[in-house]
């Protein structure tokens, strides 16, 4: 299937690549950043609907660390795929600076930007410590900062006097390419967070959950939209605009996929928890209680729920099951932990050729 055909005759579910590249040591940073740019170009050439970027600091679990800066590079390196944040940690950003950067990238990409916003990490306290931010203020900072950005994008002079920011803008430039403002979507890691977004009548992005939990949350989401007065057409439109995250790897056979993806998956999660555990040992602090020995791991760390790997037929079947939950888009991370770029590129190509047409 040609690239143009893949975009115009694509499946019901939108498909995307979540660029979340691990850099194990500082010496690996340059190589991994270069490879991630190559992966973005390949994703665009293969006709994926979107490319997502993460934000994490100081530990190498996301080599480029800043999705806003990296999105500017992708705006000129790619041509077709939308470029999204999954998510930008708003509590760590000044809202006017961020509004300016987003507006500029909106112009560079000609409106391809998806501004995925979240309060900040719910796990890594050192992200906040490194920026001198109290993590208990993250949600309040997020709410105030988002409201400021929406006001700034109107372009007119305004003043704001709030809990965290006191501002006097004579004007805002550049005004966004997308009118009235760039497309904004929020992430929700919990059912409570999802309900808050649904009550605002907005779509949302869901982190890794089991298919059962995903289906339950999507049904509750639709019920909540109806309860605030949305008609069925609007409910369907908002539901289709929601996204769910899964880790994905495709190989010619199930055995080959498991041989490559399963060790990479485990190594990825070991690396993601290492700094958190180190900081807890050194400081005795964490955002959420450290898991007790023998406690059940969250869905994101469970192979059955978090990793979709196998032959094209196997991956097609597993992703079709995710589609039955009603979610409109898949945020798929293809490169897992220390996985080689070459393995990732083959997986992306196999997905595009043999999975996507059958979803």
Parse the chain into domains and list their residue ranges: 3-358
- List, for the chain, all residue ranges whose pLDDT scores fall below the cut of 50: 1-11
Nearest residue to 32 via CA among 20, 42, 41, 43:
20
What pLDDT score does 295 carry? 86
Pair type for strands 166-169 and 158-161: antiparallel
Instruction: Give 254: exposed, middle or buried? Use CB within 10 Å, 0-12, 13-18, 19+.
Output: middle
d(CA 25, CA 334): 21
Cβ–Cβ < 8 Å for 13, 323:
yes
Q: For residue 326, what is the DSSP state? A: T
What pLDDT score does 62 carry? 98
Report the phi/psi class of residue 265: left, alpha or beta, with left for phi > 0 and alpha for psi in -120 to 50.
alpha
What pLDDT score does 7 carry? 36
What pLDDT score does 240 carry? 97
Cβ–Cβ < 8 Å for 224, 198:
yes
Tell me the average pLDDT of the chain.
95
pLDDT in tens, 125-141: 999 999 999 999 999 99
Sign of the C-alpha dihedral computed for residues 251, 255, 260 and 266 taken in this order: positive
Nearest residue to 41 via CA among 56, 62, 61, 19:
19
What pLDDT score does 290 carry? 85
Q: How many CA atoms lie within 13 A of 10 on its CB side?
A: 19
Instruction: Give 91: exposed, middle or buried? Use CB within 10 Å, 0-12, 13-18, 19+.
Output: buried
What pLDDT score does 328 carry? 97
* Alpha helices by DSSP H, the chain: 3-8, 29-45, 67-77, 95-108, 125-130, 138-152, 191-199, 211-227, 232-240, 254-283, 303-306, 312-323, 341-350
Instruction: Assess if CATH 3.20.20.30 describes domain 3-358.
Output: yes
d(CA 56, CA 74): 18
Nearest residue to 308 via CA among 13, 108, 56, 9:
13
Cβ–Cβ < 8 Å for 138, 119:
yes
């Amino acid at each position: 299937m040609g690239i143009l055909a893949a975009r115009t005759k694509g499946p019901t579910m939108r498909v995307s690549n979540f660029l979340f590249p691990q850099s194990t040591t500082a010496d690996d940073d340059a190589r991994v950043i270069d490879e991630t740019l190559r992966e973005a170009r390949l994703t665009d050439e293969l006709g994926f609907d979107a490319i997502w970027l993460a934000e994490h600091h100081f530990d190498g679990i996301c080599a480029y660390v800043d999705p806003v800066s990296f999105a500017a590079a992708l705006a000129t390196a790619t041509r077709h795929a939308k470029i999204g944040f999954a998510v930008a940690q708003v509590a760590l950003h000044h809202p006017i600076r961020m509004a300016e950067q987003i507006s500029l990238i909106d112009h560079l990409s000609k409106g391809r930007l998806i501004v995925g916003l979240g309060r900040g990490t719910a796990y890594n306290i050192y992200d906040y410590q490194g920026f001198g931010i109290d993590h208990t203020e993250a949600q309040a900072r997020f709410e105030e900062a988002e409201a400021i950005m929406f006001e700034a994008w109107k372009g007119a002079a305004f003043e704001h006097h709030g809990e965290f920011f006191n501002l006097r803008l004579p004007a805002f430039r550049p005004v966004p390419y997308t009118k009235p403002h760039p497309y904004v979507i929020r992430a929700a890691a919990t059912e409570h967070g999802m309900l808050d977004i649904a009550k605002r009548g907005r779509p949302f992005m869901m982190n890794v959950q089991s298919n059962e939990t995903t289906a339950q949350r999507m049904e509750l989401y639709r019920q909540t939209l109806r309860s605030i007065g949305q008609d069925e057409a609007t409910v369907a439109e908002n539901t289709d605009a929601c996204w769910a995250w899964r880790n994905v790897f495709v190989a010619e056979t199930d055995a080959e996929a498991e041989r490559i993806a399963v060790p990479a998956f485990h190594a990825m999660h070991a690396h993601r928890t290492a700094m958190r555990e180190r900081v807890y040992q050194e400081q005795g602090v964490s955002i959420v209680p450290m898991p007790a020995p023998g406690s059940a791991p969250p869905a994101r760390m469970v192979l059955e729920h978090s990793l979709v790997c196998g032959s094209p037929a196997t991956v097609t079947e597993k992703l079709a099951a995710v589609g039955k939950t009603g979610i409109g888009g898949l945020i798929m991370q293809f490169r897992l932990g220390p996985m080689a770029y070459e393995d990732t590129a083959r997986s992306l190509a196999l997905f595009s050729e043999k999975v996507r047409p059958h979803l």
